[in-house]
Chain A
Amino acid sequence: MAAGSTLPRVRDPITWLGMGLIALTRQVGEFSLFAFQAMGWLLTRRPGRTELLLCMVEVAVQSVAVVSLTGAFIGMVIAVQTYDQFRFMQMETQLGAAVNVSIFKELGPVLAAIMLAGRIGCAMAAEIGTMKITEQIDALWALGASPMHYLVVPRFLACVLMTPLLVLFADAAGAIGGWFFAVHVLGVNDAHYWSHCLGYITTFDVLGGVFKSIFFGAAIALNACYRGFHCGAGAQGVGQAATEAFVLSFLGILVLDFFLSTFLNGLNDILYR
């Protein structure tokens, strides 16, 4: 029998579906195990101060400009897109509420996290993937260091701690961008803009966005590190790991956002209504 004939041939949709489900279950299982191991290391041994600081600089300092710029333009775009509708209803002064509620509750955290997934997630997956294919991860083991502790824990902590900070930068930049365009370009009254804004935005909204970003940061770091550790051979494998890291982080952020927003809305109802 030829070697090739031993491979299962997909003849019908049921077989195809079954194989897909098995592969998905295996991936989810492996990822869960990876995440649990990372949590285990996180809880049992502190990461090196230098590694953690370097990761924090990489995540936060080098991302602050691009995240702020994204936030600023999102603020301005919301102002542009909503101004006509509000003017039609003679409610231009409500623009501040629309812009800031969108930014603080949803767009600031989600878009900042997506920018981070692209900038940091891909870089992490590519860096760890390259370390894997050049045997640097094996070298860590051989030198008595756990790659999980040395590589994953500092990256995870850096993302979890720095993403909320970056989200605050994105929120602030979005608020300023929206205000600038609404007040200085579209001519909305400054005092009314802010008074309506403050009437609609609560501390819970701002903190809710920051709370969500903690989970986004964790998802970006774990997904990127997992992809790096399971990177295929060669340059193509590293490229694929980086692409998968971004795509799956993006999807993960949107899925998490849905569930966290639902949870926060319920919590808000319980606490304040």
Chain B
Amino acid sequence: MTKQAFIVGVGETPPTRRSSKDIRALAIDAIDAALADAGLPPTAIDGIVTDGLIMPNTVPHEYVTAQYGMDKRRFDGSISYGGTGIVCAPMIAKAAIDAGLAETVLCYFGVDWGTRASGPYGFHDLYPAKLAFEKPVGFNGQPSYFALWARRYMHEFGATEEDLAAIAIAQRSNALRNPRSQVKKPLDLEAYRASRMISDPLRAADCCVISDGVCAFIVTTGERARDLRQKPVKIMGCGFGTEPVSGDDIFTQRADLLRIPGAAAAAQQALRQADLTLGDVDFAEIYDCFTISCLMQIESMGFCGPGEAGPFVRERGTTVDGRLPINTHGGLLSYSYLLGAEHVIEAVRQLRGEAGAAQVADAQVGLVSGLSVPDYGVLLLGRPT
């Protein structure tokens, strides 16, 4: 029989564009906070799971192990990269726990793209075809990649800037309830329209912020969770989905650029494990790197049909007091941009009832998603019982 696994401690560094600390110091701060939150000593950690691309190059597992003297570590795992990696880390942690390979697993992720000279833009240099064919024409920033999707989306579905604005405005309203959020200025349609055009049709208000920071959380067994400081948040399901397309091709070459098949697959896998439907989800933290990609994920996960996400957001209401609160901390657009690691932390806080003015009433089931094209992760978390 499959054991149950729980998130028992969370930690994050304060959202900020530029930190005075380097990425390893930020990781230590976040891990310290997660351990303190759980009430666990570092030596209780016997496994580490992160994404498989960014952390191994910036805050490797062995560095953390040495920093804390984690002498019982007997499991090491990673999955995908970036946002999908950290959203799916609980899948690997739980699998390790189920298999008896570990009991208490540390997961962490963060970036220093606020201070790093190339910011988020240097990341795509790892793709040879993008270097050879795209960089020479100045197709070299994520806003431009998603702008091509946005224009095509508007063309195919008759979507308007109001559809893009709806998600940005709702999330800003959520961010304003949260004293930690990086962006503190109100946003209405007029302010949205006045927002600087970055790569049209995408404005600054359509793009995520850029941040320095790290988040960490700890996964353990039900038996262990019982004795710890916090009420344990249950991992109800965790799904991974992808499609056979390279990172070079993902933004330009797929037959249907406007669907994210990995999102559908990951959502179905997570829901099946949890024995839930999307209708059971009380709030969702969705990977909102851009307004357009958030709309597409809402559709691809099945909350509504293709081209319907704009009206869905407006009619359903995605603010904290709406019928489906989305990105209750303000999301990557307004809270911080740690590629969705903060989404996991926020979902845990919501389910523990610690979200203060941004608390979703009677939140029982939270969905968290991470997009790292072409990979996708969906995590379903349940309120402590």
Do A and B assemble together? Answer: no
